[in-house]
Chain A
Amino acid sequence: MGDPSLSYTGLFVLQAIASGRRFGLEIMEATGLPSGTIYPALRRLEALELVQSDWEADKRARQEGRPRRRYYELTPAGKGRLGEAAARFKAVSHLFPKRSTS
């Protein structure tokens, strides 16, 4: 896989995940970008191996009687890319308020 430069959307999504948003809807709300942008961006970032996904623990979802959620997190490469970008665009790290990941 080559190293195509990160789009602003990609950057926003990475930053949103880094600040504790874990699934599509949360990212969508934090960034304010339409869902038609967020999900394709997630696919692309995953294909670029900048984010990885994992399923919510089965037990918890079953207890609440709802489908499992798919959680995204940054890969080391993703963290690296975000760090590079943050160095270039100072404002990026202040984009979204920090959030606990519980």
Chain B
Amino acid sequence: VSRGTIPPRLATAFISLLSLLVPRHHRSRWREEWAGELDAAAEQARAASPLRLLALINGVLPDAIAMRRTSLQSKPRSRGSRTGPFHALDQDIRYAMRGLVAAPAFSIAICSSLALAMAANIVAFSVMNAAVFRPFSGVNGQDRLVRLNVSRAEGRGTNVASTYRDLQLLRDTVTGLSAIAAYHSTDVTISVASQPQLAESAFVTGNYFEVLGVAPAAGRTLTSRDEVDAWGRPVAVISHRFWRTAFNTDPNAIGQEILVNGLGVRVIGVGPEHFSGVEKGDYEVAVWLPLPLGELAWRDARRQPVTLSTAALPFRYVGKTRNDVSIEQVQAQSEAVARVISREYPARAGTSIYVRRVWLNDPADNAFNVVRFLIVPLFVLAIGCVNAANLLLARATRRAREWAVRIALGSSTWRLTRQILVESLVVGFVSGSAALGLTAGALRWVETYLPIPIPIDHRVLLYTVVATALTSLAFGLAPAIRASRARTSDGRFGPMGAARLGPWRFGLVVAQVALSLGLLATGTQFIKTLLDSVPSYGVPEPERVVLASFDLDPLRYTPESADDFYQRLLDDMKRRPEIAHAGLLQGAPFFSGTTSGWIKLWLPDDERPRSVLAGVVVGDVFEVMRLPIVAGQTFIAQDHTARLRSIIVNEAFVSSVLKTAGPGRVVRIADAQGGLATATEVTIQGVVASAKNKPHSLPTIYLPVPLEATPARTLMLRYRNTPGDVAGTLQQVVRKLDQRVPIKKLTTAETEARVRSEEGPLIAGGVAILGVLALLLAAGGLYGIVTYIVSLRLRELGVRMALGATRAEIVRMVLRQGLVPTAAGCVIGAGGAAAVGAVVRSRLYGASPVDPIAFGLAASVLLIAMLLASGIPARKAADVDPVVALRTE
């Protein structure tokens, strides 16, 4: 009989908590009765639905209250000491709740603004939490996992190549680790039911899943036997996502055969949901294969196949520490391995091995990033606090008389202060709960942009509680201090004396305006950046431009057969009537997804190489992009078959590299590894217009034949009209040429432009939303204050109108009261706000410094909002009937 299941345990905790409401002499019996009820319900819940349990729990609170009421009626109230600092705290809480319910408009205003600001914070923290603090999904015992990075400084960079022998050395020498697994990920072609597709795969040692403590979602994981017998009985574990996309979550996927780079491999299991290893950026891994099968895909620098024993590849290692072994010990043992490697292989002298914990992002390294990421939401929360403080202060003014009475009756200052603090805590916790709800919704949206799950876990909850408590203290402090200074004389002259903004509130409004201005300016800037980057991609009719990229490397094409395949593909597509232009691009800079290639270039009389972007164009690439040849001439058919003699450059190259007219000039080029001695001399035969946006607007050269052939190209097509089923026709054509070839990526220039502009929509959108939020908070706050002051000045306004003041004069007077601190905030806060904006922008996202237009726009939006916020109550004030106003007191 399982009586200790989670829901009843939670329910028991809930009952214990609420039993504090029940008078002490009934408490233990009350608890026991409920325990009995729960037990009875739990017994039935096994047969019926757990909803019944919930229905029962609903009664706990009403019952606790009923218990309290009946026992209070029957017995004289016995209270604790009347002098303790916390006696009758429950009274304060109830009083605070009643106060909130009695003034719904006030409560909604204050709670909703705080909830929004807090939600912004919790969302930001949740994202940080998911990216920094949470363990990798599906991995167990992560605190004992360490990463071993084998690397060697080489020139200015780092060479991370490692060999299978390193793994054996590590396993023999590093005794502080109970097990070490190695892995390496690369692209492979996977065919499921003869549908080829390009996918990321990880080649792993047999103990990989065991070291990471991964339990499969279905089937089993790899074992060391699978590694030993990798070629005899090839098997694979597929990712949960791949299971979903390629197999439709079919349980029968286990046991099926898939083709990996042409080799039949049996699927033996499915990884747990969201599991993708312990490497940031490996989110797309679709299949895990035993390490020896890597020979299917591995290539050396010259693109020649390598074997496991000879491969020098960026293998990565992860190990599990023994119970009593520290990271320092593992590090020391690893350094011994590094020394052996350096000694035995002269080419690898200076190898070092770093041991670090397995984190998505190491918290120690990322503390600064966490703070940076949270700065903006914290600003908004600060504004929210100021806003709430303002509203509470306004109410405090109205309550000055109440306090005066209480003090006159002998209430202590502490009692009043405590009352205010309890009230702000109640407000804070109501808002915090609402904020959690908002967060849950917002995270669903955020999750669509990020590859990692973002749950609300115990860290997020703790953050919420701490943030709520601190927030409550922050905004409750000013009113509490004011309350502690309340004197019996405060109420004597009626509220007329308090109808001006005191220095407190004046300061708060100024602070609020200044903070809002900074955020708003930043938000405006981001929206501007977003708008700038969206549509003007520079390609006319981008919806007609289709880009299809291929990579024949996994299929072991020779360079000649690859050229032949692409030429036939191009010819086939050109023959289709719906296509206006077609071209092939290799290593090209136009779109993401095509491998951009940098090459070295020497100008005449200059031994210093420059790096420029280079692309190999065959066919009508420029026509597809609608880039006209502005000088010289384009390539002709012979250029593509002959030796490399001439190139085309873009206008940006002419203006920023050559500085003089292009055609006819001679330069030398070599691939990234090459030197001047082996460089090829080429003549610039034409200049093509630059595309409008980065990186296509960068200095670029176009070659008719490659410096070094690669089997990855992009087919670029311009259709006569917006195309229909591109994928279908293209697949047909490709399949006729070679059934095994998958389309790596298929997209249109339009989608591509949109994807590009999505680089920062999450953050930019987030900041923009926060900016608008800040504006609303500031405007709402001012509205509340001005409305409030108007209500305090009713009598005075009545007197003025009775004495002959006109409507216009009244409106002007009230407006002034709201707008003077706004203007002061704009002026006083401008410097600070500019600094805030500058810090946020430069530190966070590397955008441009303060933009005066964005700033001016933000300031005017703010002023208009503030004008509205104080204008509405001002008009209301002018509608006051003097007779009514005078009678109110």
Contact = CB atoms under 8 A, between A and B. Distances in A.
Given A23-B36, A39-B62, A34 B3 contact: no
Interface of B is mostly: helix
A66 B58 contact: no
A68 B32 contact: yes
Given A47-B70, A67-B32, A39 B39 contact: no
Most chain A beta carbons < 10 A, residue from B35, B59, B69, B73: B59
B66 A39 contact: yes
B32 A40 contact: no
B66 A67 contact: no
B40 A47 contact: no
Contacts, number: 77
B67 interface: yes
A43 B66 CA distance: 7
A36 B39 contact: no
A44 interface: yes
Interface residues of B, number: 28
B571 interface: no
A67 B39 contact: yes
Q: Report the contact-size class of chain A (Cβ under 8 Å from the partner).
A: 20 to 34
B610 to A, nearest CB: 78
Contacts of B63: 35-36, 39-40, 43
Interface in B1-19: 1, 3
Nearest to A26: B40
Most chain B beta carbons < 10 A, residue from A37, A38, A43, A56: A43
B75 to A, nearest CB: 11
A57 to B, nearest CB: 13
B1 A56 contact: no
A65 B35 CA distance: 12
B3 A47 contact: no
B70 A56 contact: no
Given A34-B55, A35-B59, A67-B36, A47 B65 contact: no
Contacts of B35: 67
Interface in A66-98: 66-70
A65 B1 CA distance: 10
Interface in A12-43: 23-26, 28, 34-40, 43
Contacts of A61: 36
A69 B66 contact: no
A26 B63 CA distance: 16
A40 B37 CA distance: 14
B61 interface: yes
B41 interface: yes
Contacts of B67: 43
B66 A34 contact: no
Contact of B70 (A43, A66, A70): A43
A39 B26 CA distance: 15
Contacts of B1: 65
Nearest to B59: A35
B40 A23 contact: yes
A37 B66 CA distance: 10
A35 B56 contact: yes
Given A43-B66, A47-B74, A69 B59 contact: no
Contacts of B3: 65-66
Contacts of A46: 70
Nearest to A1: B74
A34 B36 contact: no
B33 interface: yes
Given A28-B56, A47-B70, A36 B62 contact: yes
A53 B74 CA distance: 17
Contacts of B69: 43
Nearest to B68: A43
Contact of B39 (A28, A44, A66): A66
A4 to B, nearest CB: 12
Contact of B65 (A34, A40, A69): A40
Contacts of B65: 40
Contact of A25 (B29, B41, B74): B41
A15 B513 CA distance: 65
Contact of A69 (B29, B40, B56): B40
Interface in B27-59: 29, 32-33, 35-37, 39-41, 44, 55-59
Given A47-B74, A65-B1, A38 B59 contact: yes
Contacts of A35: 55-60, 62-63
Most chain B beta carbons < 10 A, residue from A23, A39, A69, A70: A39
Interface of B: 1, 3, 29, 32-33, 35-37, 39-41, 44, 55-63, 65-67, 69-70, 73-74
8 contacts: A24-B59, A25-B41, A25-B56, A35-B55, A39-B60, A40-B66, A46-B70, A69-B40
Given A35-B62, A43-B70, A70-B29, 8 more contacts: A24-B33, A25-B40, A37-B62, A38-B59, A39-B63, A40-B65, A44-B70, A69-B36
